[in-house]
Amino acid sequence: MKNHQIAGIFNDIADLLEIKGDNPFRIRAYRRAAQGIEGLADDISAMTDEMLVGLPGIGKDLAGKIHEFLITGKVTAYEKLKEEIPESLITLLSVPGVGPKTARHLHDSLKVRNIADLERLAKGHKLSGLPGIKAKTEENILKGIEMLRRGRERQPLGRVLPIANEIARQLEKASPARKISLAGSIRRWKDTIRDIDILATSVESLKVMKVFVNLPVVHEVLMHGLAKSSIVTTEGIQVDLRVVEEESYGAALVYFTGSKAHNIRLREMALRAGMKINEYGIFRESDNKRLGGRDEEDVYKLLGLPYIEPELREDTGEIEAAIEGNLPELIGLKDIRGDLHVHSRMSDGSNTIEELATAAEKRGYSYIAITDHTEGLGIAGGLSAGKVLEEAEEIKSINRGLSGFRLLSGAEVNIKSDNTLDMPDEVLKKLDIVVASIHSGFRQDREKLTNRFISAIRNPYVSVIAHLTGRLLGERDAYDIDIEKVFEMLRKTGKALELNAYPLRLDINETYAKKAKEMGIPVVISTDAHSTGHFDYMLYGVATGRRGWLGAADVRNTLNTPDLLKWLKSLRSVM
Ligand code: DGT
Ligand code: CA
Ligand code: ZN
């Protein structure tokens, strides 16, 4: 899919325009367009020009640029901008956390020309104290450089999964493979992926491998064999394909799904029971007689275990739970009845409220909450108190025309550095749901940051805490906060923790999700959608929930509409 590439170019153009000090509206238009394209479920290269212009945030001019890219593989305006701006400056901009302004300053005033220079200066404390360089900037620059390096090793699942699915689809279409499955960390839905593992069965392995190493995504062939081949895609991701016999499929799937730690536990269990397990099957130790391995259930059954879902296979207690018959019944996408964190055009989203409602209803949802940014977040078009109330009125009136689907009025308020919210209680009390998060000043120290969240939870109208860790995969590490303390306050008040499904955020990982469940903290899984296409990200949120052992009962947006509203109301009588 070209979507990701085009969104990347539009984001780059926005950065370059910002460096040039171009018109902020123009810059924002590019960012909005990028965001809309990134969220599309459909392949942009299959769209007609009229369809392009019909996309949210895309006018004639941007549609023309997309068209140009699809035909020529280039966008002239982008190429020109890159020529105008020194390459060394663009390099500095690639460091996570270094924005256009800092990059310009480093480049022009401090004459920094490459990442090695930058690292040396930051390490030698040569930057702090200089005008325009804030106290913590040095530290953040070093973190950014480190992340840039790490980012090359592991990619976010949200980037890798579409590529893996596409490869599997093409193998299915063009090769004589019978069964095809993704394996490895992708099948376990880990948040970042080192390489893609694919498993197939076939009696014509030679042909399957030939198709594989000649796929259009292949950039380089590392190994071309009968049982295993490896390629590197044009995006730089390694893909291993293994072809096995039908009778080994289950055993191989267990083996290559991993995790390694889980496999080791299975092997120990097998040995203790006088069996041997490997990627070919499960055998009796004494005479090597094949006992099974055709499907995964087979393997677990022979070990005396129920089937264990791939998301749980991390050796974090799943084997013990399986032995005791205590495996959790995991939440599924079908359990989700709505999305409780959605942005409309009123703030920085790409769609109108009606468009969002229509798209959500089409997915079979019963409700969504419109939670636009509020005042404090000027850059994201945050709404004033008057606008928040206006939007709530509009939602009421739209609801009158709906049946079987309901819009919830809400807001995503910003918890300010002084612990207060950027919206008064009199406004918040008129809304169905209030999501509170930190969007600025997140470089405060641990105690201050922690207290900001605690204060927000104490506010009687706050229902959900979002972006608790604030991490952005490959770009920003988690905030330094005392999670224990925040969780304790959530437990006390019964307020909910948001598991953000946006694949580059997933700021509540499986460990925190599991901890929330153990403490009895209600979880909501929300996409933070900024366009209708982003509703699809729910998949990643649910997967992370599953990795955190969550069942439908642990997640509040599995409730039906009356029960959900009742729960939200009940939170307001807490304090
Ligand atoms: P990653 O790092 O995102 O690629 O994570 P995985 O889990 O996909 O790791 P990978 O690609 O190295 O290996 C795929 C699976 O193959 C892994 O989950 C378990 C299995 N495996 C790999 N090496 C070993 C090993 O030395 N022993 C055992 N028991 N299993 C292994
Ligand atoms: Ca892998
Ligand atoms: Zn949001």
What is the DSSP annotation of 14-58? HHHHHHHT--HHHHHHHHHHHHHHHT-SS-GGG--HHHHHTSTT-
Q: Report how far ligand 1's centroid is from the alpha carbon of 185 (Å).
A: 8
Distance CA 467, CA 526 (A): 11
CB 191 less than 6 A from any atom of ligand 1: no
Q: Which listed ligand is nearest to 164 at the C-alpha?
A: 2
Q: Report how far ligand 3's centroid is from the alpha carbon of 332 (Å).
A: 23
The rounded Cα 403 to chain-centroid distance in angstroms is 32
Does residue 344 have a cis bond before it (omega within 30 degrees)?
no
pLDDT digits (tens, 9 = 90+) for 41-86: 778 888 888 888 877 778 889 999 999 998 888 999 999 998 888 8
CB 167 less than 6 A from any atom of ligand 1: no
The rounded Cα 438 to chain-centroid distance in angstroms is 18
Q: Which DSSP helix (H) or strand (E) runs through 88?
A: helix 87-93
Question: Measuring from atom 17 of ligand 1, which residue has the nearest CA?
Answer: 258
SS (H, E, C) 406-467: EEEEEEEEEECCCCCECCCHHHHCCCCEEEEECCCCCCCCHHHHHHHHHHHHHCCCCCEECC
- What pLDDT is stored for residue 380 in this prediction? 63
Distance CA 290, CA 510 (A): 37
Token pair, residue 536, equals 């699809």
Non-local CB neighbours of 115 within 8 Å, separated by 6+ positions = 91, 92, 95, 145, 148
Mean pLDDT confidence for 317-321: 97
Closest ligand 1 atom to Cα of 267: 29
pLDDT digits (tens, 9 = 90+) for 265-317: 999 999 999 999 999 999 999 999 999 999 999 999 999 999 999 999 999 99
CB 184 less than 6 A from any atom of ligand 1: yes
Non-local CB neighbours of 400 within 8 Å, separated by 6+ positions = none
Q: Near ion ligand 3, which residues have CB within 5 Å?
A: 412, 528
Could you tell me where the DSSP H helices lie in 154-204? 157-174, 184-187
Residue type, 334: K
- Buried residues in 155-173 as b, exposed as e (16+ CB within 10 A): bbbbbbbebbebbbeebee
Q: Report how far ligand 3's centroid is from the alpha carbon of 555 (Å).
A: 19
Question: Measuring from atom 30 of ligand 1, which residue has the nearest CA?
Answer: 260
Is residue 537 a contact partner of residue 317, using CB atoms and an 8 Å limit?
no
Q: Report how far ligand 3's centroid is from the alpha carbon of 40 (Å).
A: 18
The rounded Cα 268 to chain-centroid distance in angstroms is 35
User: Which residue in 276, 269, 274, 312 sits closest to 293, CA to CA?
Assistant: 276
The residue that leads in pLDDT, 470 or 404, is: 404
CB 230 less than 6 A from any atom of ligand 1: no
Q: Report how far ligand 3's centroid is from the alpha carbon of 196 (Å).
A: 31
User: Which residue in 146, 245, 145 sits closest to 201, CA to CA?
Assistant: 245
Q: Report how far ligand 1's centroid is from the alpha carbon of 213 (Å).
A: 22
Distance CA 331, CA 107 (A): 50
Distance CA 575, CA 566 (A): 17
| Averaged pLDDT of the chain | 91
Q: Report how far ligand 2's centroid is from the alpha carbon of 345 (Å).
A: 39
Pocket test for ligand 1, best of 160, 185, 319 (most atoms within 8 A of CB): 185
Q: Report how far ligand 2's centroid is from the alpha carbon of 160 (Å).
A: 11
Is residue 375 a contact partner of residue 387, using CB atoms and an 8 Å limit?
no
Distance CA 360, CA 84 (A): 43
Q: Report how far ligand 1's centroid is from the alpha carbon of 290 (Å).
A: 24
Mean pLDDT confidence for 212-223: 94
Question: Measuring from atom 1 of ligand 1, which residue has the nearest CA?
Answer: 194
The pLDDT-based confidence of 164 (bands split at 50, 70, 90) is: very high
Is residue 40 a contact partner of residue 529, using CB atoms and an 8 Å limit?
no
**Measuring CA to CA, how many Å separate 147 from each of 71, 155, 199, 257, 455?**
34, 11, 31, 27, 32
Q: Is 218 helix (H, G, I), strand (E, B) or coil?
A: strand
Is residue 331 a contact partner of residue 554, using CB atoms and an 8 Å limit?
yes
Residue 288 CB: number of other CB atoms within 10 A? 8
Distance CA 107, CA 387 (A): 41
Pocket test for ligand 1, best of 197, 228, 280 (most atoms within 8 A of CB): 197
Q: At what angle do helices 353-362 and 385-400 cross, to 10 degrees?
A: 50
Is residue 552 a contact partner of residue 475, using CB atoms and an 8 Å limit?
no
State percent of the chain over pLDDT 90: 67
The pLDDT-based confidence of 475 (bands split at 50, 70, 90) is: confident
pTM: 0.82
User: Which residue in 122, 146, 124 sits closest to 136, CA to CA?
Assistant: 122
Residue 574, pLDDT > 60, answer no
Calculate the dihedral angle through the C-alpha atoms of 123, 126, 132, 133, rounding to the nearest 10 degrees: 30
Closest ligand 1 atom to Cα of 195: 4
Distance CA 363, CA 443 (A): 38
Token pair, residue 447, equals 């105690």
Report residue 482: phi and psi, to 5°. -90, 90
Long-range Cβ contacts of 424-427 (<8 Å, 24+ apart): 424/385, 425/459, 425/460, 425/461, 427/385, 427/388, 427/389
The pLDDT-based confidence of 153 (bands split at 50, 70, 90) is: confident
pLDDT digits (tens, 9 = 90+) for 388-436: 999 999 999 999 999 999 999 999 999 999 999 999 999 999 999 999 9
Paired with 276 in beta bridges are 283
Distance CA 356, CA 534 (A): 10
Q: Given 3-state DSSP classes, what are the helix, strand and coil percentages for the chain, each rounded to the nearest 5?
A: 50, 15, 35
CB 194 less than 6 A from any atom of ligand 1: yes
Question: Measuring from atom 28 of ligand 1, which residue has the nearest CA?
Answer: 260
Q: Which DSSP helix (H) or strand (E) runs through 200?
A: strand 196-201
Q: Which listed ligand is nearest to 256 at the C-alpha?
A: 1
First to last CA, the chain: 50
Q: Which listed ligand is nearest to 185 at the C-alpha?
A: 1
Token pair, residue 53, equals 């212009």
- What pLDDT is stored for residue 73 in this prediction? 87
Question: Measuring from atom 16 of ligand 1, which residue has the nearest CA?
Answer: 256
Residue 287 CB: number of other CB atoms within 10 A? 6
Closest ligand 1 atom to Cα of 264: 29
- What pLDDT is stored for residue 575 in this prediction? 54
Residue 473, pLDDT > 90, answer no
pLDDT digits (tens, 9 = 90+) for 93-132: 888 878 888 888 888 888 888 888 889 888 888 887 776 6
- What pLDDT is stored for residue 507 in this prediction? 84
Is residue 504 a contact partner of residue 473, using CB atoms and an 8 Å limit?
yes
Find the largest Cα–Cα distance for the chain: 79
CB 334 less than 6 A from any atom of ligand 1: no
Non-local CB neighbours of 235 within 8 Å, separated by 6+ positions = 159, 163, 217
pLDDT digits (tens, 9 = 90+) for 548-561: 999 999 999 999 99
